[in-house]
């Protein structure tokens, strides 16, 4: 009996030992699994840190781009304002140029009228000068003919010399009128 009990105890102990071995194997498997999970968790944590750093970097870039965009919008606004001012100045300048051109055209028209009036006056004066020359020539010809007739019968080699009262007024013969003005 004691032997039977001992065998039963041995069988029970063996069975318990077997169960404990299985449990140890299960626990070892779980431990291995747990170590694998830990490694995975560590890798995931490292990946998470890298992604967090990249995210911060991208946020910084985005903030920089936002600032750049805001600066560009402000610069664009300044340029548009300057362009609008220049366009307004250009319109004003164009109006001034138009006014100056109109004044110039009016001055040119007035000057042309003045030139025409002066030309007409000059033509009238030239006609008067021609007429006076013709009158003087007409008066000198008969006297000249008479004087020639007297000198051929009279005194010597000197030829005819008109007296003071036969000469035209002093400035009249000296005035030369070029053919292009006549």
User: Encoding tokens for residue 138?
Assistant: 């007409």
Tokens 């991208």 locate to 58
User: Encoding tokens for residue 98?
Assistant: 């138009």
Query: Chain-wide mean pLDDT for the chain?
Result: 84
- Name the band, by pLDDT with cuts 50, 70 and 90, for residue 10: confident
Q: Which helix (H) or strand (E) holds 145?
A: helix 2-153
Domain ranges of the chain: 2-140
| Range 45-54 average pLDDT | 94
Reported as a single tens digit per residue, the pLDDT across 96-118 is 999 999 999 999 999 999 999 99
User: Encoding tokens for residue 82?
Assistant: 């300057």
User: Encoding tokens for residue 137?
Assistant: 């020539």
């Amino acid at each position: 009996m004691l032997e039977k009990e001992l065998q039963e105890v041995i069988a029970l102990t063996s069975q318990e030992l077997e169960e404990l071995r299985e449990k140890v194997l299960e626990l070892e498997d779980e431990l291995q699994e747990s170590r694998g999970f830990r490694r995975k968790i560590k890798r995931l944590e490292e990946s998470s840190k890298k992604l967090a750093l990249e995210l911060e970097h991208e946020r910084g870039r985005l903030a920089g781009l936002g600032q750049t965009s805001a600066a560009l919008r402000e610069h664009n606004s300044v340029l548009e304002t300057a362009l609008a001012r220049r366009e307004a100045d250009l319109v004003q300048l164009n109006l001034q140029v138009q006014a100056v051109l109109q004044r110039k055209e009016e001055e040119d028209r007035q000057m042309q009228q003045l030139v025409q009036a002066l030309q007409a006056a000059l033509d009238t004066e030239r006609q008067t000068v021609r007429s006076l020359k013709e009158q003087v020539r007409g008066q000198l010809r008969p006297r000249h003919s008479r004087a020639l007739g007297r000198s051929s019968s009279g005194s010597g080699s000197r030829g005819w010399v008109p007296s003071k009262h036969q000469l035209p007024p002093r400035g009249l013969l000296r005035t030369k009128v070029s053919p292009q003005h006549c």
